Structure 1
Amino acid sequence: CTSRKTMARASTCPPRPACDAPPPAALPRGFRHTRSRLVASGWPRHRGRDLFARPEGPQWAIAKFAYGPQDDDLEGEDVKAYLLRGCSGAWERLGTFRTSDDDRPHPTAEGIPDTGGRVYLDLTAGRRLDVGRHRVHFAVAGDGTSADLFIEVLPPGARVAVTDVDGTLTSSEVAVVGELFGGAPPAAHPGAAEAMRALADSGIHLFYVTARPEWLVGSTRAWLRRQGFPPGILHTTIGVTGAFGGAAAHYKTIELGWLKARTGIVPSFGFGNMPSDVTTYTAAGIAPSGCYYYKLGGDLRGGVHHDDYRALAPALFSPPAACAP
């Protein structure tokens, strides 16, 4: 987990697949329920839950469908699901599934309780994914609105780097708030994307963990892509308000506990900018020498203080022993 000497990129892993093939066209056919038409009068806030998995372990595709500022659930409606296996080739039709009702919830899966408006798709039932990166696309049959998620199935020996987003990668801790009220999208810290790409070039999988609310999954993923960050797995909280301070540390600790329980992996690197990140990475067992804190003072518990990703990026690269499929 220690810093590496600056090296020429003579041997790097190829870029992770963009997974950007256009999904099948969705032709709206109308909703099953009158109430759904009222719910869908708000703007769509649908979101899929990215996941790391193992070839032999559980593999779920989980998505939430909701609309408007109150995050009203779309319940009892049909959703079509498609799979882009390995992020290449043709889309596979997985079937049509009905969103859940919170009065008859689906059992919790991957730590995601059913509060209504969700689809839980068990991919191990004849659809198991091999090692690699995959995309699942959901389209609401009623109006054609959609949500996507990504699943990375990890091989033995895979390494992961975890990073916070707000203030760690973005220009400020609260930059996203201005964007929500019509302001410009936040900038990224200079060199932050290059630092994350140095890790990806070394064969390391990226885990973006933010305490933002769940309905910001789509805009967060789009921001990472626009700013040039490498593809990875993105997790937010599963609530509508997000988490702060001690609650954020608790949430992130649970996320890294999930990663270890599901894959056996403790991240090799951790990036943050708040005391809650120090607490989280220490509790998760990340080696202090692999923890980097942007412009954070105080007790870093052996972690590394830095104030310039541009200086950090070359030291993060190491010739890969193996590359992610």
Structure 2
Amino acid sequence: MLRPSPLATLVLAAVSFVACAGAPRQPDAPAPPRPRAGACPARPACDAPPPEALPRGFRHTRSRLVAAGWPRHRGRDLFARADGPQWAIAKFAYGPQDDDLEDEDVEAYLLRGCSGAWERLGTFRTSDDDHPHATTEGIPDTGGRIYIDLAAGRRLEIGRHRVHLAVAGDATSADLFIEVLPPGAQVAVTDVDGTLTSSEAAVVSELVGGAPPAAHPGAADAMRALAESGIYLFYVTARPEWLVGSTRVWLREQGFPPGILHTTIGVTGAFGGAAAKYKTIELGWLKARTGIVPSFGFGNMPSDVATYTAAGIAPSRCYYYKLGGDLRGGVPHDDYRGLVRALFSPQAACAP
């Protein structure tokens, strides 16, 4: 029987504190580092100011009560193909109990190609228990969600796109990013906690009011080496879904390149064997949707070894930070700075 890890216990204890502390800050993005000679163009930051949203009140009295808590809205990033399904999926909830915002209007906007003017997609209604949406892209409808079929209109072309979603009732919002991959695209998958952050439980310090966790020296530079080689980044963490916003902020603050970020869809996250199962499902989804097996994998736990082995990633391209034991042929390391030269391939084909 698996015991809850220290991180699980601390995350649960921090939920009530975070409810009082408010939503995570949204700092300005740092200046991008100078690219290496021969590097592919950087993926767009997609940080244009969103359309102005003015609250017009909720449809239901109960929604005003739910919205008394701080917003924990979150969008679901996705990889897609130009000729495949293209969905925008998000959940709207408030407070420490993650209370769903049901049967309320959400205004949706699209920044196509991360440039130009925002396009208004329309007004969409959040789901409720009596009218659930079918499970889509592996996301079951637990209430308070919207599912927008982007392929039903003008399809997204190859490139990076951003969807901004604003609750009509109070103008709180969520964002998500979609990478439409070209043929032959390569993806690198990396865990976050302990792999990129300074420790496995570093996120808890920030949740209870401490400073954001540090990144391992050279970790952001190693991920940039891959991005500058035309490889797409897939950040897969077993953190709970409501931390997706603050995780995006942390990655941006620490200088990691833009990518697709996935968390669990639960409120408490996953640990141990459950984390391995979750990540295996995520990489299975990637292969089913795009046909891609990641070209690189980065982790720091035995669960990462199990996940990457099951996914079929070449062991010689699986890098494990300060991890001993049976790595199934993977590469142990204790300093990302020593990996940068090996990860950067200036002759690689650049992604559009």
TM-score, normalised by the number of residues in structure 2: 0.89
Runs ≥4 residues deviating over 3 A: none
SS at 1:144 equivalent? coil
Identity of aligned residues (%): 88
| Structure 2 equivalent of residue 98 of structure 1 | 125
Does 1:300 find its partner at 2:300?
no
> Which of 114, 118, 132 pairs up with 2:145?
118
Amino acid at match of 1:137: H
- 1:49-97 deviations in Å (ceiling 9; x for gaps): 0000000000000000000000000000000000000000000000000
Does 1:66 find its partner at 2:93?
yes
Instruction: Decide which moves more: 72-81 or 314-323.
Output: 314-323
Does 1:31 find its partner at 2:55?
no
Structure-2 separation of matches of 1:81 and 1:247: 34
Over aligned residue pairs, what C-alpha RMSD do you find? 0.9
Structure-1 separation of matches of 2:340 and 2:304: 20
Amino acid at match of 1:59: Q
The alpha carbon displacement at 1:10 in A equals: 3.0
> Which of 218, 242, 249 pairs up with 2:269?
242
SS at 1:249 equivalent? helix
Structure-2 separation of matches of 1:48 and 1:58: 17
| Structure 2 equivalent of residue 316 of structure 1 | 343
Amino acid at match of 1:317: F
* 8 Å contact from structure 1 (residues 288, 302) kept in 2: yes
* 8 Å contact from structure 1 (residues 54, 155) kept in 2: yes
SS at 2:197 equivalent? coil
Q: Which structure 1 segments of 5+ residues have no match?
A: 1-7
Instruction: Decide which moves more: 282-291 or 179-188.
Output: 179-188
The alpha carbon displacement at 1:264 in A equals: 0.2
> Which of 137, 141, 144 pairs up with 2:171?
144
* 8 Å contact from structure 1 (residues 161, 269) kept in 2: yes
Structure-1 separation of matches of 2:129 and 2:252: 33
Q: Summarize the alignment of residues 206-225 of structure 1 with structure 2, pairs less than 5 Å apart.
A: 206-225=233-252
Q: Summarize the alignment of residues 271-286 of structure 1 with structure 2, pairs less than 5 Å apart.
A: 271-286=298-313
Change over 3 Å in CA distance of 1:94–1:87 after alignment to 2:
same
- 1:1-35 deviations in Å (ceiling 9; x for gaps): xxxxxxx9431101110101111100000101000
Amino acid at match of 1:281: Y
Corresponding pairs, count: 318
SS at 2:194 equivalent? coil
SS at 1:199 equivalent? helix
| Structure 2 equivalent of residue 3 of structure 1 | none
The alpha carbon displacement at 1:109 in A equals: 0.4
| Structure 2 equivalent of residue 4 of structure 1 | none
The alpha carbon displacement at 1:178 in A equals: 1.3
SS at 1:124 equivalent? helix
Structure-1 separation of matches of 2:293 and 2:97: 37
The alpha carbon displacement at 1:320 in A equals: 4.0
Structure-2 separation of matches of 1:202 and 1:320: 8
Does 1:81 find its partner at 2:81?
no
Structure-1 separation of matches of 2:233 and 2:130: 36
Q: Summarize the alignment of residues 186-201 of structure 1 with structure 2, pairs less than 5 Å apart.
A: 186-201=213-228
Does 1:265 find its partner at 2:292?
yes
The alpha carbon displacement at 1:104 in A equals: 1.5
- 1:190-226 deviations in Å (ceiling 9; x for gaps): 0000000000000000000000000000000000000
